Structure 1
Amino acid sequence: MSATSPAGPVASGPGSAAVGTNTGITNTGANPRFVTVGSGGLPLPDQVAMPSRLDNLIKPPTDPFVGRAETLQALEEALTADHTSVVTQAVYGLGGVGKSELALQYAANHRDRYRLVWWIVADEPERLDAGLAELAHRLNPTLALVEAKTADAATWAVQWLQSHPGWLLVLDNVDNRQHINGLLGRVGGRGHVIITTRRNISWRGAARTLSLDILSADAAIELLEELTGRDEPVAAKALAAQLGHLPLALDQAGAYIAQQHISLSAYLQLLRQRPAEAFATVAETDESARAVARVWQVTLDAIAQRDPLAVLLLQVISYCAPDNIPRDMLTALDPDHVDQALGVLASYSMITLTEDAVSVHRLVQAVLRTHSTPAPDGHNELQPPAVVTALLAAACPNGNIQTAIEDWPRWRTLNPHIDAFARCTSDEQANEAHASLFSNSALFSWTQGQHHIALPLQQRALTITETAVGPDHPTVAIRLNNLAQTLHALGRASEALPLQQRALTITETALGADHPDVAIRLDNLAGTLQALGRAGEALPLQQRALTISQAALGADHPDVAIGLDNLAGTLYALGRTAEALPLQQRALTISQAALGPDHPTAAIRLDNLAQTLRALGRAGEALPLQQRALTITETALGADHPDVAIRLNNLAQTLQARGRTAEALPLQQRALTITETALGPDHPTVAIRLGNLAGTLYALRRAGEALSLQQRALTITETALGPDHPTAAIGLNNLAGTLYALGRTAEALPLQQRALTITETALGADHPDVAIRLNNLAGTLYALGRTAEAVPLQQRALTISETALGPHHPTTSTIRGGLPY
């Protein structure tokens, strides 16, 4: 009832990358680095005290802040009454109205009320998780030291918020209520939450809403006068009207007037002289964007005269995520002058600047991307998208994405900007440099267990690469392989298979039949075949892959260890367990020598070796190996990573084999929770967790609880993998056993007959799993009084088991003991 993690890929060649579901490890680029993370427990969220004072406000509040006193008071009253408020706006789609500024004013003015004030840009689930993870790192630096994955750290932060009252959380620019409903449900009532959003949707039942419209005419005039120090009421009224009373546009106009030391009248004249085409490309219905476009053109002309590089920088910034753009990434454009150019942009209120990062309003970004401005003098060869591509690529760490854990914080910072850039770039505009950037970003998301995020980037990378270099280029094979491995991880192995077959053909044709990359393609294709129940077809591919790797790389290369372990897994699946053992022992030795004893890959080797020992009846030797594997995996990858669920599940199986069933139950319950959260409720791996948990409940004489879990598991498996997959046979067999225990023997019989047919067809008539099916079916026939039919089935089962597993294997002994003599 257990499942071995499927075989994973390897990467080979300069800058190549592959992803998979077993090793989770790929060496990419030159000189990969490895780190060893020490073991040790992490403090629980309720054990970490509320800080005396902590906040991460994005900037100081704007001064002056006019026209919002009543709304600010209403916000305070709403929070006092309901804990959660949504700052929205009366006009659907309007940006720049001052929602974030209102929240910032409240947070800054009430710092003394809260010991923790935390600001998160929550326009996407990934950014929400990143903001929560950063909170966790600030509250519990140990999480940062062990490089806990984003999802794990975010979960820790939510648990901390649940455990402590008296905090303020600002969720800025929420685009989809569904993205934050779970968070609100878990932390509601413990602190205060402010949500800002452009979405004109119902928040009933979740929060009290406050609509925020544009400023009144009087407030807009007052703001202009405060910003500029000018007393020109007539010009101020006309200018405010021209800018639609929009706070963002007024603020930028005021910054320009103050910077240039001109009158409001002079600025109004400049604004009116701007030709219509300066903002003609902005949607006619988007008045906020049109207002900013007018200001933008006037301001940009002035900026270009003072510092041409600043214009290019602003255009570059418009293709990134709006917040936390690393200054060091931009500095690479022109190390001697970027800081000066950023200062100019900040002086005109076009950006917000901190020591380490740059932020820009989304509306400004949208307007900047809409307009096409020639590159500034001295940079005529540069166009903003090309500059962004180069800057992001240069900013990415050079270490192995999956093994250089110390690089993960940098990837977390860069990935939102790569994702934003991908959304702004069409496939027609992209080239192979874009594809490489998107592919590496996807690979990092894959390491975080975020396969659904990786998938669209990998699909785009493949499309772009095929167009750029042709359909038969070796790089296309890498893209196909990585996409296939992500599909595999998402439970879509049947879609992965033709991609891997094509990748193998391309690689063999381009590089030759004995190239190490051919071994990678063979091994990954074999893993998918095994996942599809076609282990017999997988075996010769893996044997050939191992031969190629040893000849090309040497007997002690880490890639050889992967090949050995994967080959052993297929032998295990084919019932040739004794042959698998020495291969896994050798793989463990190679991996520990190459990567260190505490590397996540060593944990995989330990766990797989332990499962083979257990299958050979040596569960006592397996147990300490699996306990150590679990510790390594939790320390390196975080407590909620899907690989931790694999370790928990397999450790539980060994505990059960040792007669310690009660200890196995909580491990399997935790494994199920992790898997459902990480992969979704309908993933075939969830079916495995459900089936194994049900088996433990059955062993604890709780068959009634087991039944519903097994029924759900079977439904998931048949839907995801098909009704004739060997895993479906396992589900049918286990469900039949529970029905038998509940006295529903007649219902069990057709399930077991079907399970036997599936297993024989998929795995062959002499596979040891066939012996299990035959023996179980015979037991049901005995119970139904059909002894004459049962005996020959058991005799055949015994013959198969003795041949495949040996006369003294526990399975053989069980079958032999059931025969009537």
Structure 2
Amino acid sequence: METAIGLNLDHKETCLFTKNLGDEGLPELTKFIHETLHDAVNLVALRLEQYQYATMSNSPTSELAQEVEQCALTGPSNKATEGISLSGVELVSSTPKSDIAKPVHLPCFVLNTHSANKDFCGRQDILERLATELLPSKNTVTASSGALKQFALCGLGGIGKTEIAREFVRRHKDSFDAVFWVVADEIAKLDNHYQQISLALGLEDSSECKSQVVSREIVKGWLANPQKHISESDGSVQPGEASPEATWLLIFDDADDPMTLTDYWPQGNGSILITSRDPSSKGLFTSKPSGLDLGPLSQKDSLSLFNHLITTSSELEVDTARQISDALGGIPLAISQIAGIIRGQDLTLSGFLDLYADHEESASFYETKFNTNSGTYGHSLSTVWAFGKLKPQPQRLLELISFLDPDGIGEDLLEASVELFSDGASFKESKYIEARNDLLQSSLVRKDNQKQQLSVHRIVQDVILATMDSGRKRYLFDQVVRILWADWPSAMPKPSKEPELPQPKSSGNRLYVGRWPACAAIYPHILRMHQLWSVMSDSSEATKLLFAKLLIDAAWYQKERGRTKQFDGFFETARNICESSTYPDRDSLLADIHFCLGSIAMDTSNFDTSRIHKERSFDLVSKICKELGTADDRLYLAYAERGISRIQDTRYDEGEADLKEALRIREALGNYIPRSGEANLSWALLLQGKLEECNTLLLDSLAGREKALGKNDREDVRTGLILYALGNLRAAQNQWDESFQYHRRAWHHMRETVGERDFYTANITHKIAEHLIRSGNNEEAIVRINDALEIWSVDRNAHKNEIACTTFLKGNLLAAMGKMQKASIAFRVACRLRKEITKEDRDLKGLTTKDFDDIVAFWAR
């Protein structure tokens, strides 16, 4: 980055400073607060008191620095503090500035699209309690006028938590401006739901919606300040009139691990309903527990539900119905599914009762079918649901379904797997339809006609798996892995050595955003398979390795969608499989793991870790290719990645050599189109002062991409990287106008490919700010700097280096504008962060822009 100048430090950055400064800097900050904004301290304290239990941190709330930061970054809108910050300047909105002009789509209902449960029965007292606890106050004008409402329905599986929540939404949806149903059993599902909410509200459009982590923060920002009219300049709000705020209800369904919600918990004045097996959910992020533990249906409601599902005519049948209802213990799921079995097999009530009266497991059925103390289910549930009475085809279909994500199983996936339950007969769609309809009639699965998906209760899955012998489990696990892999568009290049394992739908799609929808549809099933992996035994080596390939690619997909950590344990499982395997494809997979971990570490400025992984990946790939006597796309990538690490280590000549070898390999393969390798090579040349060679390389690369893909293609970010490098080259040549033109083109390109809030976009936004500073446009430069910081702050731990660098730029700008007090705060933030990163305790006067450039990746300079 060129000479840095710049800042207008807002509340968020001040609070970020306090967290990183720790106790050492608190007296200095406290003095500043008391001298400049005594009233603001009282307002912050008030907000802390209201929301300290709803913050995202588990750290103690006794430290002012951490509490203030939480309040600033994730706290709800407070009209009393709007427009105020500890630095005396206007707050940066928690909703990114680029969204301010966008209309919010209200009313907005993002729900599970299963039709209303026409068989819902009873629970009237609970529904009335939910209405009391969660419905918005009729006299509420703005979201800041009240506290967050939350309520948890807890209890064992099958007790009816989800159905009660669904019925509450059906009855009261129109009482809210927005209702969002979120399946909360896995982080990946939470991410996907929040992104869908962002799209549905109009906070992002599909061209922007790249990073799921960013979408999550945008949605949380709106929930904290749910404006019906984002801009008051549209004339819809009269001067002096309170801006109306939307009322919202958020349902976290199946939140059996409540702490999974930590990063997704909103603030504001909305309503939250949780369903969970964990009773601690009632006290989640609040000082006052709110919720109840659901018990079975009353005898009256239990019989009412059973009679609703099974028509009884004679007095004898009424008595038999009561006996069956009592035997099922008031568990709604058991009642509805037994009724389905009776209907599906055309049994009389007395016939059903006789059938099971003398069953050898009847005693254990009555005692353990739903153990409320342990939360476990006995094998006797297979008796309850009469799985053994199903025809072979629906039973096998149900076995297959037990290995897939229970909340959304595409019928196209099941139809493609029909041979697994068709007795070896040739594919006939009618076979699948017949088997599916049998399961629907038995109430064992449900169908979402809109999405053409099936869903199944987790208990049904658990019982099917518990009653399946180990050989059948192994067979189905193997087949499901192969089915998922066959449909997966792989990011990794095809292995150098012809693999013995099956190949995916396509390969080599790294950074290609067009594959994301297919990956998003398959990913939940991979999560389910990963859950089952720990209980699988004696899988074949081929199945283990193929499963590892699937996990590696799925984790990389999550990286592309914005994650920098918490890859659902996929890398760890894949690595454990590979390191204990002797299968021929093993080394290729280990190379992929090290490649992924090296790239992720590089993106998060963990350069030492990145170097280690990239060197290991290179060693593995080069060994394979040497043995085969070949040079392919994987070897190209290995050289290119090692070259990146060597450039970062200032070994520019070695980095140049690696990248030139990489390009030589790829050109020899044919169908050559310039990629990011050319941009990275240009950095090695630029940093060595080889400006003419750098210029030729970049212009030829840009022309090559335009010839192959058209001018300003939007296939991926690579054209933007070349434009970025050209802008830096022109700056080194003191051709500032042309430098600005290239950087501006890169800025537009990255926003339209990876999105407005990707870290690539943040890098170029910083560059745009430098140009604006140079031209004297300080106010717009401040806006761009804040935009960049807004992007970095989504994942502050991963992007601490970039935050330090951009905050130093902001400090220089404030100093140049004569705002020395605010500049001082920014400089302290930047210097403290740099000290944490480098362990160097250097005085501000001795630090330059280069010192901050050195702590970020070279392509961000």
Q: Deviations over 1:643-697 (max 9, x none)?
A: 2111211221232233434322221211112112046366433333333333333
- Equivalent position SS for 1:195: strand
Moved more, 364-373 or 670-679: 364-373
Deviation (angstroms), 1:381: 11
Does the alignment pair 1:394 with 2:511? no
Does the alignment pair 1:169 with 2:242? no
Deviation (angstroms), 1:104: 0.9
Does the alignment pair 1:339 with 2:447? no
**Residue of structure 2 aligned with 1:196, choices 275, 279, 294:** 275
Separation in 2, partners of 1:474, 1:182: 35
Separation in 1, partners of 2:363, 2:571: 37
In structure 2, the CA distance between the partners of 1:353 and 1:455, relative to structure 1 (3 Å rule), is closer
Report the TM-score when normalising by structure 1.
0.75
Partner of 2:58: none
Q: Is the 8 A contact 2:578 2:586 kept in 1?
A: no
Q: Is the 8 A contact 1:97 1:212 kept in 2?
A: yes
Does the alignment pair 1:349 with 2:443? yes
In structure 2, the CA distance between the partners of 1:299 and 1:433, relative to structure 1 (3 Å rule), is same
Q: Is the 8 A contact 2:595 2:614 kept in 1?
A: yes
In structure 2, the CA distance between the partners of 1:292 and 1:329, relative to structure 1 (3 Å rule), is farther
Q: Is the 8 A contact 2:178 2:248 kept in 1?
A: yes
Deviation (angstroms), 1:393: 2.1
In structure 2, the CA distance between the partners of 1:425 and 1:177, relative to structure 1 (3 Å rule), is closer
In structure 2, the CA distance between the partners of 1:509 and 1:169, relative to structure 1 (3 Å rule), is closer
Structure 1 consecutive aligned stretches of length 4 or more whose deviation exceeds 6 Å: 277-284
**Residue of structure 1 aligned with 2:414, choices 315, 320, 330:** 330
- Equivalent position SS for 2:152: strand
Q: Is the 8 A contact 1:85 1:210 kept in 2?
A: no
- Equivalent position SS for 2:120: coil
Q: Is the 8 A contact 1:691 1:713 kept in 2?
A: yes
Q: Is the 8 A contact 1:114 1:167 kept in 2?
A: yes
Deviation (angstroms), 1:85: 3.4
Separation in 2, partners of 1:357, 1:350: 14
Partner of 1:367: 463
Q: Is the 8 A contact 1:278 1:294 kept in 2?
A: no
Separation in 2, partners of 1:563, 1:407: 21
In structure 2, the CA distance between the partners of 1:152 and 1:282, relative to structure 1 (3 Å rule), is farther
Separation in 1, partners of 2:370, 2:179: 39
- Equivalent position SS for 2:802: helix
Partner of 1:314: 398
Moved more, 561-570 or 623-632: 561-570
Partner of 1:590: 704
Partner of 1:491: 605
**Residue of structure 2 aligned with 1:133, choices 195, 207, 213:** 195
**Residue of structure 2 aligned with 1:502, choices 609, 616, 623:** 616
Moved more, 292-301 or 56-65: 292-301
Partner of 1:611: 728
Partner of 2:819: 702
Q: Is the 8 A contact 2:192 2:212 kept in 1?
A: yes
Separation in 2, partners of 1:345, 1:665: 61
In structure 2, the CA distance between the partners of 1:2 and 1:392, relative to structure 1 (3 Å rule), is farther
In structure 2, the CA distance between the partners of 1:271 and 1:616, relative to structure 1 (3 Å rule), is farther
In structure 2, the CA distance between the partners of 1:163 and 1:401, relative to structure 1 (3 Å rule), is farther
**Residue of structure 2 aligned with 1:557, choices 669, 672, 691:** 672
Q: How does 1:256-295 map to 2 (within 5 A)?
A: 256-271=341-356, 273-276=358-361, 293-295=379-381
Q: Deviations over 1:485-527 (max 9, x none)?
A: 1232233332232332222222222213871433321221121
Partner of 2:339: 254
Deviation (angstroms), 1:73: 0.9
In structure 2, the CA distance between the partners of 1:667 and 1:71, relative to structure 1 (3 Å rule), is same
Partner of 2:547: 434
**Residue of structure 1 aligned with 2:175, choices 106, 113, 123:** 113
Does the alignment pair 1:73 with 2:128? yes
Deviation (angstroms), 1:412: 1.8
Q: Which has the higher contact order (CA 8 A, sep 6+)?
A: 2
Separation in 1, partners of 2:395, 2:432: 11
Does the alignment pair 1:86 with 2:151? yes
In structure 2, the CA distance between the partners of 1:445 and 1:206, relative to structure 1 (3 Å rule), is farther
Q: Deviations over 1:582-613 (max 9, x none)?
A: 32222222233333323321111101110121
Moved more, 382-391 or 155-164: 155-164
Q: Is the 8 A contact 1:591 1:601 kept in 2?
A: no
Higher helix share: 1
Separation in 2, partners of 1:456, 1:131: 21
**Residue of structure 2 aligned with 1:99, choices 161, 169, 184:** 161
**Residue of structure 2 aligned with 1:581, choices 683, 695, 698:** 695
What is the identity, as a one-letter code, of the residue corresponding to 1:99? K
Q: Is the 8 A contact 1:319 1:385 kept in 2?
A: yes
Separation in 2, partners of 1:176, 1:653: 45
Separation in 2, partners of 1:570, 1:207: 58
- Equivalent position SS for 1:372: coil
Residue segments in structure 2 that go unaligned for 5+ positions in a row: 5-96, 138-146, 229-245, 419-426, 490-504, 857-861
Q: Is the 8 A contact 1:525 1:538 kept in 2?
A: yes
- Equivalent position SS for 1:85: strand
Deviation (angstroms), 1:558: 2.7
Q: Is the 8 A contact 1:319 1:421 kept in 2?
A: yes
Q: Is the 8 A contact 2:685 2:694 kept in 1?
A: yes
In structure 2, the CA distance between the partners of 1:142 and 1:652, relative to structure 1 (3 Å rule), is closer
- Equivalent position SS for 1:50: coil
Partner of 2:306: 224
Q: Deviations over 1:754-777 (max 9, x none)?
A: 979x99xx9xxxxxxxxxxxxxxx
Deviation (angstroms), 1:242: 4.1
In structure 2, the CA distance between the partners of 1:294 and 1:448, relative to structure 1 (3 Å rule), is same
- Equivalent position SS for 1:358: strand
In structure 2, the CA distance between the partners of 1:245 and 1:282, relative to structure 1 (3 Å rule), is closer
Q: Deviations over 1:8-32 (max 9, x none)?
A: xxxxxxxxxxxxxxxxxxxxxxxxx
In structure 2, the CA distance between the partners of 1:502 and 1:241, relative to structure 1 (3 Å rule), is same
Deviation (angstroms), 1:211: 3.3
Q: Is the 8 A contact 1:75 1:210 kept in 2?
A: no
Partner of 2:103: 47
In structure 2, the CA distance between the partners of 1:63 and 1:638, relative to structure 1 (3 Å rule), is same
Partner of 2:577: 464
In structure 2, the CA distance between the partners of 1:497 and 1:277, relative to structure 1 (3 Å rule), is farther
Deviation (angstroms), 1:75: 0.8
- Equivalent position SS for 1:144: coil
Partner of 1:666: 783
- Equivalent position SS for 1:171: strand
Total equivalences in the alignment: 690
Q: Is the 8 A contact 2:407 2:454 kept in 1?
A: yes
- Equivalent position SS for 2:553: helix
What is the identity, as a one-letter code, of the residue corresponding to 1:333? S
- Equivalent position SS for 2:251: strand
Deviation (angstroms), 1:327: 1.2
Deviation (angstroms), 1:250: 1.9
Separation in 2, partners of 1:617, 1:177: 56
Separation in 2, partners of 1:341, 1:221: 30
Deviation (angstroms), 1:101: 0.6
Deviation (angstroms), 1:69: 0.8
Does the alignment pair 1:245 with 2:330? yes
Q: Is the 8 A contact 2:194 2:215 kept in 1?
A: yes
Residue segments in structure 1 that go unaligned for 5+ positions in a row: 5-40, 738-747, 763-821
Does the alignment pair 1:602 with 2:719? yes
Moved more, 323-332 or 278-287: 278-287
Deviation (angstroms), 1:419: 1.9
